[in-house]
Amino acid sequence: MTSKYLALDVGGTNIKYGLIDRTGKLLEKNSIKSPHNLNDFIIKIQRVIDHYSKIIRGVAFSIPGRIEHEKNVIHGGGSLPFLNGLSLSNLFRCSVPISIENDGKAAALAELWLGNLKDISNGAAIVLGTGVGGGLILNHQLFYGTHSQAGEISFLLNKNEDISYENLEGSSGSAVKMINKIARKLGLDDLDDGKAVFSEINKNNRDIMPIFEDYCRNIAVLIHNIQGILDLDCYVIGGGISSQVIVTETINKEFDKIRNGLPIIKTTLLRPKISDSKFKNDANLYGALYHWLLEADENMQNKRSIV
């Protein structure tokens, strides 16, 4: 029987979790609302772990923030600042190994393992959600950088005259904020109603299309700037809104406008491929598990070398 694992994708709005086997088959999937304090976080996650405890071989987390892997310590925590400085291994009662990976890096690992970066030498995953997650694949491997913070796209500044959160990419590139802004323009009661918002976007509603197109242009500028530094083969767009075909289509259109608007860009820099993530909003679940498997293999090899 193939081993099963519990994967959890902890986000600022929801915590998604799923039961996945070693081959990458998603057997079950569910979600709960993200808590706003540590006590509720521990209670909710412990219930999920307890539910699956008798049938799993490991627990794999995807979480915002910089991860200190040696101690499973979270630094920052993104939209969940109460996680800063904590080690998840010490928070929960669990009889199987726990691993943690940054959310953007988990998305990249998912695509490297079984998705649209599998046969790519150099690529990136960009995750559009509450903030903007990122993961870099260089020479067929996830790139961590010196301090395990490579790919922290949310912390890029897009203006230099006002150093504020609003001018961080994590704010201007937030899919949640874009949806809120359009919902407000449409007069919706529920500002988080992404389904209603994209219904109007797909109808090409002229009242709101400038907001959506400006958002996609911001992501296109981001990709252009990364491309000028790293020269990647492919960028995959993930996150909840990536299930909408119009998102990647519009990002590609805006990217071409940038290239066509300044001829020297087009004549000097080759165009990378910009495509959807294979796993869409489930990428972090698969990537969290793949990180667990890689970590387990590394630990096993270390034990053998000691013996």
CB 107 within 8 A of CB 133: yes
End-to-end CA distance of the chain: 29
Residue 207, classed as helix, strand or coil, is coil
CB 8 within 8 A of CB 59: yes
Q: Which domain holds residue 258?
A: 116-276
Alpha helices in 152-244 (DSSP H): 169-172, 175-186, 194-202, 209-230
- Domain match, 45 and 90 both: yes
pLDDT the model gives residue 120: 95
* CB neighbours of residue 210 within 10 Å: 10
- Domain match, 228 and 154 both: yes
- Domain match, 220 and 134 both: yes
CATH of the domain at 175: 3.30.420.40
* Rounded-to-integer distance, Cα 286 and Cα 279, Å: 8
Q: Please give the tally of structural domains in the chain.
A: 2
pLDDT the model gives residue 307: 44
* Token pair listed for 57: 């071989």
| Strand duo 123-128 + 132-138: pairing | antiparallel
- Domain match, 126 and 144 both: yes
In this prediction the pTM is 0.92
Q: What is the dihedral angle through the alpha carbons of 54, 60, 62, 67, rounded to the nearest 10 degrees? A: 130
Whether 63 maps to a domain, the answer reads: yes
Give the contacts of 232 (CB within 8 A, at least 6 positions apart).
122, 123, 124, 136, 226, 272
204: left (phi over 0), alpha (psi -120 to 50) or beta: left
Whether 269 maps to a domain, the answer reads: yes
Give the contacts of 296 (CB within 8 A, at least 6 positions apart).
58, 97, 99
To which residue do tokens 């009662």 refer? 93
Position 220: which residue type? A
Q: Render each residue's pLDDT in the chain as its tens digit; 307 residues.
A: 789 999 999 988 899 999 999 999 999 999 999 999 999 999 999 999 999 999 999 999 999 999 999 888 999 998 899 999 999 888 999 999 999 999 999 999 999 999 999 999 999 999 998 889 999 999 999 999 999 999 999 999 977 667 888 889 999 999 999 999 999 999 999 999 999 999 999 999 999 999 999 999 999 999 999 999 999 999 999 999 999 999 999 999 999 999 999 999 999 999 999 999 999 989 999 999 999 999 998 765 655 444 4
- Domain match, 65 and 200 both: no
Give the distance between the most distant pair of CA atoms in the chain. 68
Give the contacts of 248 (CB within 8 A, at least 6 positions apart).
237, 242, 274, 275, 276
H/E segment holding residue 75? strand 73-75
Beta bridge partners of 125: 135, 236
Whether 109 maps to a domain, the answer reads: no
